[in-house]
Each structure stands twice: as structure tokens, then as C-alpha cells.
Structure 1
């Protein structure tokens, strides 16, 4: 089984792709929008990644979810299962290929700080960035059961660097 996308070398267009999508989705989360951050591997210059732009949307509260889901559907997104309590998830595929993932969390949700801290660590530490890239490429090469296996096998490395998520 394959991942949602094949890992590729860093693409200097990823930041512009993030900015374009940030602008496109921002209205969906108004008036509760606090900020939209570029997270995940495509947010780290020089890091190989699945070419899927990750956006972290911070909102004051989750409300009008039916209207938000409808608006996101009109933009080509599908609501996935919540990744944790208060962590909503959307994905966008074009012609069967995953292109964007949107994580929506309320201000103060533990995942906001965690995603930003890991992104910033990868941006600032070339040794950690290279180790993480090597791990991702190894996991892609040995993957048998798809994205869930890939994520589960990355988790111990990430947790060792920034601590485990709350229980």
C-alpha cells in the first residue's frame, strides 16, 4: 500500500502554494479566525516531503460547523475524522492526488504549539532536519500498510524531540 503521495525533493513553490491556499480558505473561518500557519514538511526549506501543503488554522472557537464544512466542500475539501478532541481535519485531492491538508484547532489546543515547535525545530537545526528526512525516506521505502503505518512509525522520533502528546 502506498502513502497519500510520494516523497519528493523540496520545491521552492511550496511557500507560494501555501499563501494562495491560505487566502482561499480564510473566509471560511471568519469571524473566528486567529491565524493560518504553514506547517508540516512543506513548510521547512530544504526538506523532502510529500507534496501536500499542510495548513494549521487557529480559530477562537468551533462553531457553525455545518456551514464551514459546506464552504470547505465548495473549495474541494472533504472533512475527515477529528484527529483529537477539538482538532478538525480536512483534505483536498485533485484528480485523485492529495494536495492539501487543513488542521483546525481552537486557540490553546495543544496541537498548535506542538506543530509550530516541531516545524521551527526542523527549520533551525540542519542535523535534525536531515535525520527526519532520512527517517521519512526509509519509512516510505519499507511501508506496507499505508499512511497510518507511516505516521505511527514517525511518531516516536517526533515525540523524542518535542515530547509526547497529552494522554
Structure 2
């Protein structure tokens, strides 16, 4: 079971680790769109396909990220957290997900053995983690905090919109909004009695 310390610690991938399975994708402009009420339905359909092809290999599946927060503007990309017994055992899930059109993009052993696959249509980032991963807990806490806190939801949306004009790779965009994200995490952790 993840400890409070593991969940509240901001853990970044190793700085010397090359996360790209097939090389970095070309930069694409980040576009923030208004909240789409169809995003939750899209997740339900995507989750059904994932469960169908992976069967008992799916230990847990959840809609996370901005598209899981009603009213929050976001990139039109559904983020999903998939928990499997061991993310390092890629043969247990990558081939089956390829049948659905997913492409294995990221492998980050230093970041809780994180793997990410993407789907081009509809746009999906599928994050693969192991059991009781602190990052999964963090994702759910962040999502749930934004669902219940209008001020922080608006603060986060403002930070996202302000981060777009810098251009570059999506990781550059993520870095530009990191201070706001960490401040929101801090409030959520304190409210949960974790700090």
C-alpha cells in the first residue's frame, strides 16, 4: 500500500532516461477546447474495448485528466489509467492493445514503471501502471479535487490556457503549468490530512 509520503512526493522520471519507444513524436500545437459533455461517454466506449481485449489483465481502469472534470476546458485527448499486474511484462497487454490501434509511445522504468500508449482516433493517452501505484492515487485525487473545487478548476484552466502560447512539445506545455499543478496538489493533500 502506498504511503502518504509516496503519494505526496512529486516524482519525476530520471533525467537521463530516454522515454521514447520509437523516438520522440514531432511537436504538434497544443489546442485547448471547451469541455465536451461527450468525453465521459467516449471513455466508457474506450474502456469497454480495453477490457474486451485484455480481459483479466485489467486490474483497474479509470478516466483521469482534464477530460474527466466536468466544465474544464482541455486538450481533446482522453487520459486513461490502466493498472496491470506488472507494466514491465509488455507482452501481456501491448500486442492486444495494438489490435485496437494503440501505439506504444513511452517507457519510463524510473517513473513507477510507467508505460504510455496512444490512440490517434479518437485521441487517447493510455497510461499503464502497476498495482497500488502512487501516481494513480495522485491522478484520482487531482481529478476529484478539481471536480469539487471551482476556484482551483478555474485556476488550472487559466494556467493551461496561459501555457499554450509557448509552443514546443507537449512536455514543454506541461512544464509551464507545473507550478499551478503542484500548488493544487498541495491543497488537496492538506485537505486529506496527508501533509
TM-score bracket, shorter-length normalisation: 0.7 to 0.9
**Structure number having the greater strand percentage:** 1
Summarize the Cα distance change of 1:29–1:87 in structure 2 as closer, same or farther, 3 Å threshold.
farther
**Alignment partner, residue 148 of structure 1:** 171
- TM-score for both structures, normalised by structure 2: 0.75
In structure 2, the gaps of 5 or more residues are 1-26, 187-195
- SS of the residue corresponding to residue 36 of structure 1 reads strand
Structure 1: unaligned runs, 5 residues or longer: none
Taking only aligned residues, the RMSD between alpha carbons, in angstroms, comes to 1.8
Task: Please report the TM-score for the alignment, with normalisation by the length of structure 1.
Answer: 0.86
Paired position in structure 2 for 1:90: 117
The structure with the largest alpha-carbon Rg is 2
1:131 paired residue among 134, 155, 162: 155
Counterpart secondary structure, 1:82: strand
Question: Does residue 1:32 correspond to 2:57, yes or no?
Answer: yes
* Distance across 1 between alignment mates of 2:92 and 2:178: 33
Q: 1:74 deviation in Å?
A: 1.2
Between the two proteins, the alignment pairs up a number of residues equal to 158
Find the counterpart in structure 2 of residue 118 from structure 1: 142
